[in-house]
Amino acid sequence: MPSFTPIETPRLILRPWRDADREPFAALNADPIVMRHFPQTIGRDASDAFIDRMIALAERNGYSFAAIESRADGAFLGMAGIGDVNFDAPFGPAVEIGWRLPRHAWGRGIASEAARAWLRYGFTTAGLESIVSFTATTNERSEAVMRRIGMVRAEPPTFDHPLLPDGHPLRRHLLYVITRHRWAATLRHPQGGDVIRESSGPSIRRD
Ligand SMILES: CC(C)(COP(=O)(O)OP(=O)(O)OC[C@H]1O[C@@H](n2cnc3c(N)ncnc32)[C@H](O)[C@@H]1OP(=O)(O)O)[C@@H](O)C(=O)NCCC(=O)NCCS
Protein backbone atom coordinates (compact mmCIF):
# COMPACT_ATOMS: atom_id res chain seq x y z
CA MET A 1 0.00 0.00 0.00
CA PRO A 2 1.43 3.45 -0.81
CA SER A 3 2.14 5.93 1.97
CA PHE A 4 -0.78 8.18 2.96
CA THR A 5 -1.84 11.39 1.25
CA PRO A 6 -1.13 14.48 3.41
CA ILE A 7 -4.02 15.35 5.74
CA GLU A 8 -4.97 19.02 6.14
CA THR A 9 -6.54 20.49 9.26
CA PRO A 10 -7.30 24.18 9.93
CA ARG A 11 -3.72 24.91 11.04
CA LEU A 12 -1.71 21.83 10.09
CA ILE A 13 -0.53 19.49 7.38
CA LEU A 14 0.05 15.93 8.58
CA ARG A 15 2.36 14.43 6.02
CA PRO A 16 4.95 11.73 5.31
CA TRP A 17 8.46 12.40 6.60
CA ARG A 18 11.01 14.42 4.60
CA ASP A 19 14.77 14.59 5.01
CA ALA A 20 14.44 18.20 6.21
CA ASP A 21 12.50 16.89 9.28
CA ARG A 22 15.46 14.87 10.54
CA GLU A 23 17.29 17.74 12.22
CA PRO A 24 14.35 19.32 14.09
CA PHE A 25 13.04 15.86 15.03
CA ALA A 26 16.44 14.95 16.48
CA ALA A 27 16.44 18.23 18.42
CA LEU A 28 13.12 17.48 20.08
CA ASN A 29 14.21 13.90 20.84
CA ALA A 30 17.33 15.29 22.55
CA ASP A 31 15.32 17.68 24.76
CA PRO A 32 15.13 16.29 28.31
CA ILE A 33 11.89 18.18 29.02
CA VAL A 34 10.15 16.75 25.94
CA MET A 35 11.47 13.27 26.85
CA ARG A 36 10.79 13.56 30.59
CA HIS A 37 8.25 10.70 30.54
CA PHE A 38 10.41 8.38 28.43
CA PRO A 39 13.29 6.25 29.77
CA GLN A 40 15.89 8.48 28.08
CA THR A 41 16.48 11.09 25.41
CA ILE A 42 17.17 9.82 21.88
CA GLY A 43 20.34 10.60 19.91
CA ARG A 44 20.59 11.53 16.22
CA ASP A 45 21.16 8.00 14.90
CA ALA A 46 18.22 6.53 16.81
CA SER A 47 16.06 9.50 15.83
CA ASP A 48 16.88 8.97 12.13
CA ALA A 49 16.27 5.22 12.50
CA PHE A 50 12.85 5.99 13.99
CA ILE A 51 11.96 8.11 10.94
CA ASP A 52 13.18 5.32 8.62
CA ARG A 53 10.95 2.81 10.44
CA MET A 54 7.97 5.16 10.18
CA ILE A 55 8.51 5.62 6.42
CA ALA A 56 8.57 1.83 5.97
CA LEU A 57 5.45 1.36 8.13
CA ALA A 58 3.54 4.06 6.24
CA GLU A 59 4.38 2.32 2.96
CA ARG A 60 3.23 -1.02 4.39
CA ASN A 61 0.10 0.01 6.32
CA GLY A 62 -0.96 3.36 4.85
CA TYR A 63 -0.37 5.05 8.21
CA SER A 64 2.35 5.71 10.77
CA PHE A 65 3.51 8.34 13.22
CA ALA A 66 4.15 11.21 10.80
CA ALA A 67 5.37 14.78 10.56
CA ILE A 68 3.28 17.79 11.59
CA GLU A 69 3.82 20.93 9.50
CA SER A 70 2.43 24.40 10.15
CA ARG A 71 0.23 25.58 7.29
CA ALA A 72 1.06 29.19 8.12
CA ASP A 73 4.83 29.03 7.68
CA GLY A 74 5.83 25.43 6.88
CA ALA A 75 7.54 24.97 10.26
CA PHE A 76 8.07 21.45 11.61
CA LEU A 77 5.86 21.04 14.69
CA GLY A 78 6.71 17.48 15.74
CA MET A 79 4.92 14.24 15.07
CA ALA A 80 1.58 12.56 15.57
CA GLY A 81 0.00 9.51 14.10
CA ILE A 82 -1.29 6.00 14.49
CA GLY A 83 0.62 2.73 14.45
CA ASP A 84 0.41 -0.93 15.43
CA VAL A 85 1.50 -1.43 19.05
CA ASN A 86 4.97 -2.88 18.57
CA PHE A 87 5.46 -4.78 21.82
CA ASP A 88 3.72 -7.71 23.47
CA ALA A 89 1.03 -5.64 25.16
CA PRO A 90 -1.46 -7.20 27.59
CA PHE A 91 -4.25 -5.47 25.59
CA GLY A 92 -2.89 -6.32 22.13
CA PRO A 93 -3.04 -6.55 19.23
CA ALA A 94 -4.07 -2.91 18.95
CA VAL A 95 -3.43 0.30 17.06
CA GLU A 96 -2.20 3.25 19.14
CA ILE A 97 -2.35 6.98 18.61
CA GLY A 98 0.50 9.19 19.82
CA TRP A 99 2.14 12.63 19.66
CA ARG A 100 5.44 14.37 20.43
CA LEU A 101 5.91 18.10 19.87
CA PRO A 102 8.79 20.53 20.38
CA ARG A 103 8.26 22.70 23.45
CA HIS A 104 7.58 25.86 21.45
CA ALA A 105 4.51 24.11 19.97
CA TRP A 106 2.92 23.18 23.31
CA GLY A 107 -0.12 25.00 24.69
CA ARG A 108 -1.67 25.81 21.28
CA GLY A 109 -3.96 22.83 20.78
CA ILE A 110 -1.74 21.45 18.03
CA ALA A 111 -1.43 17.91 19.41
CA SER A 112 -5.21 17.65 19.84
CA GLU A 113 -5.89 19.05 16.35
CA ALA A 114 -3.47 16.55 14.79
CA ALA A 115 -4.80 13.68 16.91
CA ARG A 116 -8.43 14.33 15.95
CA ALA A 117 -7.44 14.17 12.28
CA TRP A 118 -5.60 10.89 12.85
CA LEU A 119 -8.62 9.43 14.66
CA ARG A 120 -10.73 10.31 11.66
CA TYR A 121 -8.21 8.72 9.32
CA GLY A 122 -8.03 5.60 11.50
CA PHE A 123 -11.78 5.11 11.72
CA THR A 124 -12.55 5.97 8.10
CA THR A 125 -9.69 5.40 5.63
CA ALA A 126 -7.95 2.70 7.69
CA GLY A 127 -11.23 1.09 8.82
CA LEU A 128 -10.16 0.48 12.43
CA GLU A 129 -12.64 -0.55 15.15
CA SER A 130 -10.76 0.94 18.10
CA ILE A 131 -7.61 2.92 18.88
CA VAL A 132 -5.70 2.99 22.17
CA SER A 133 -3.26 5.44 23.70
CA PHE A 134 -0.96 5.03 26.66
CA THR A 135 1.63 6.95 28.57
CA ALA A 136 3.50 6.89 31.88
CA THR A 137 1.14 7.74 34.76
CA THR A 138 3.08 10.97 35.37
CA ASN A 139 2.44 12.40 31.88
CA GLU A 140 -0.51 14.67 32.61
CA ARG A 141 -0.21 16.71 29.38
CA SER A 142 -0.45 13.60 27.25
CA GLU A 143 -3.37 12.25 29.30
CA ALA A 144 -5.12 15.61 28.81
CA VAL A 145 -4.82 15.20 25.02
CA MET A 146 -6.39 11.74 25.27
CA ARG A 147 -9.34 13.13 27.22
CA ARG A 148 -9.66 16.18 24.97
CA ILE A 149 -10.09 14.04 21.87
CA GLY A 150 -12.76 11.89 23.52
CA MET A 151 -10.77 8.85 24.67
CA VAL A 152 -11.81 7.10 27.89
CA ARG A 153 -9.97 4.96 30.44
CA ALA A 154 -9.74 1.35 29.28
CA GLU A 155 -10.58 -1.63 31.45
CA PRO A 156 -8.19 -2.32 33.10
CA PRO A 157 -7.09 1.35 33.11
CA THR A 158 -3.37 0.76 33.68
CA PHE A 159 -0.67 -1.74 32.73
CA ASP A 160 3.03 -2.29 33.35
CA HIS A 161 5.05 -1.58 30.20
CA PRO A 162 6.71 -4.91 29.38
CA LEU A 163 9.82 -3.24 27.91
CA LEU A 164 10.64 -1.48 31.19
CA PRO A 165 12.15 -3.44 34.09
CA ASP A 166 10.40 -4.15 37.39
CA GLY A 167 10.72 -1.15 39.68
CA HIS A 168 11.37 1.37 36.86
CA PRO A 169 9.63 4.65 37.82
CA LEU A 170 7.96 4.94 34.36
CA ARG A 171 6.81 1.31 34.15
CA ARG A 172 3.21 1.91 35.19
CA HIS A 173 1.20 3.25 32.24
CA LEU A 174 -2.28 4.71 31.81
CA LEU A 175 -4.34 3.12 29.06
CA TYR A 176 -7.06 4.98 27.15
CA VAL A 177 -9.25 3.79 24.30
CA ILE A 178 -11.78 5.06 21.78
CA THR A 179 -14.02 2.88 19.63
CA ARG A 180 -15.26 3.84 16.21
CA HIS A 181 -18.78 4.06 17.71
CA ARG A 182 -17.71 6.45 20.45
CA TRP A 183 -15.64 8.53 18.00
CA ALA A 184 -18.72 8.97 15.80
CA ALA A 185 -20.65 10.13 18.87
CA THR A 186 -17.99 12.72 19.74
CA LEU A 187 -18.51 14.30 16.31
CA ARG A 188 -22.14 15.04 17.20
CA HIS A 189 -21.16 16.65 20.51
CA PRO A 190 -21.37 20.46 20.68
CA GLN A 191 -17.66 20.67 21.52
CA GLY A 192 -16.88 18.94 18.24
CA GLY A 193 -14.91 15.90 19.31
CA ASP A 194 -14.13 16.88 22.87
CA VAL A 195 -14.88 14.72 25.86
CA ILE A 196 -18.34 13.30 26.20
CA ARG A 197 -19.48 11.46 29.28
CA GLU A 198 -19.60 7.69 29.39
CA SER A 199 -19.82 5.62 32.54
CA SER A 200 -17.30 2.93 31.66
CA GLY A 201 -14.65 2.30 29.04
CA PRO A 202 -15.36 -0.21 26.28
CA SER A 203 -13.32 -3.33 25.69
CA ILE A 204 -10.19 -2.61 23.71
CA ARG A 205 -9.65 -6.01 22.15
CA ARG A 206 -10.01 -6.20 18.39
CA ASP A 207 -11.45 -9.41 16.93
C1 LIG B 1 1.92 15.61 25.16
C2 LIG B 1 2.01 16.91 24.35
C3 LIG B 1 1.97 16.58 22.85
C4 LIG B 1 0.81 17.77 24.75
O5 LIG B 1 0.92 19.04 24.15
P6 LIG B 1 -0.13 20.21 24.57
O7 LIG B 1 0.29 21.41 23.85
O8 LIG B 1 -0.25 20.23 26.04
O9 LIG B 1 -1.52 19.64 24.01
P10 LIG B 1 -2.53 20.33 22.98
O11 LIG B 1 -1.89 20.51 21.69
O12 LIG B 1 -3.78 19.55 23.03
O13 LIG B 1 -2.76 21.78 23.60
C14 LIG B 1 -3.61 21.98 24.69
C15 LIG B 1 -3.31 23.28 25.36
O16 LIG B 1 -3.31 24.32 24.38
C17 LIG B 1 -4.27 25.35 24.76
N18 LIG B 1 -4.75 25.96 23.52
C19 LIG B 1 -4.35 27.18 23.07
N20 LIG B 1 -4.89 27.45 21.88
C21 LIG B 1 -5.68 26.40 21.56
C22 LIG B 1 -6.52 26.11 20.47
N23 LIG B 1 -6.63 26.93 19.44
N24 LIG B 1 -7.17 24.92 20.47
C25 LIG B 1 -7.07 24.07 21.50
N26 LIG B 1 -6.27 24.30 22.58
C27 LIG B 1 -5.59 25.46 22.61
C28 LIG B 1 -5.27 24.58 25.58
O29 LIG B 1 -6.00 25.44 26.43
C30 LIG B 1 -4.35 23.66 26.38
O31 LIG B 1 -3.71 24.42 27.39
P32 LIG B 1 -3.43 23.83 28.87
O33 LIG B 1 -2.49 22.69 28.69
O34 LIG B 1 -2.84 25.00 29.56
O35 LIG B 1 -4.75 23.37 29.37
C36 LIG B 1 3.32 17.67 24.64
O37 LIG B 1 3.35 18.01 26.00
C38 LIG B 1 4.56 16.84 24.32
O39 LIG B 1 5.01 16.80 23.19
N40 LIG B 1 5.14 16.19 25.37
C41 LIG B 1 6.35 15.44 25.20
C42 LIG B 1 6.18 14.15 24.43
C43 LIG B 1 5.21 13.22 25.09
O44 LIG B 1 5.22 13.06 26.31
N45 LIG B 1 4.40 12.58 24.26
C46 LIG B 1 3.42 11.63 24.70
C47 LIG B 1 4.06 10.37 25.04
S48 LIG B 1 2.89 9.07 25.21
**Ligand 1 atom closest to the CA of 102, numbered from 1:** 39
- Ramachandran angles phi, psi of 2, nearest 5°: -70, 160
Which residues lie closer than 8 Å to 197 by C-beta, 6 or more apart? none
Taken in order of first residue, the domains within the chain and their CATH numbers are 7-188 (3.40.630.30)
Mean pLDDT of 118-146: 98
Specify whether the CB–CB gap between 105 and 69 falls below 8 A. Answer: no
Pocket of ligand 1, beta carbon within 6 A? 34, 37, 98-101, 106-112, 135, 139, 141-142, 145, 148
Note the pLDDT tens digit of each residue in 118-129.
Answer: 999 999 999 999
Model pLDDT, residue 204: 40
Note the pLDDT tens digit of each residue in 85-101.
Answer: 999 999 989 999 999 99
Q: Is residue 108 scored above 70 in pLDDT?
A: yes
Model pLDDT, residue 192: 54
Model pLDDT, residue 189: 72
Q: Is residue 1 scored above 60 in pLDDT?
A: no
Q: Comparing C-alpha atoms, which of 135, 99, 108, 115 is closest to residue 195? A: 115
pTM score of the predicted model: 0.92
**Ligand 1 atom closest to the CA of 148, numbered from 1:** 12
Confidence of residue 199 (pLDDT cuts 50, 70, 90): very low
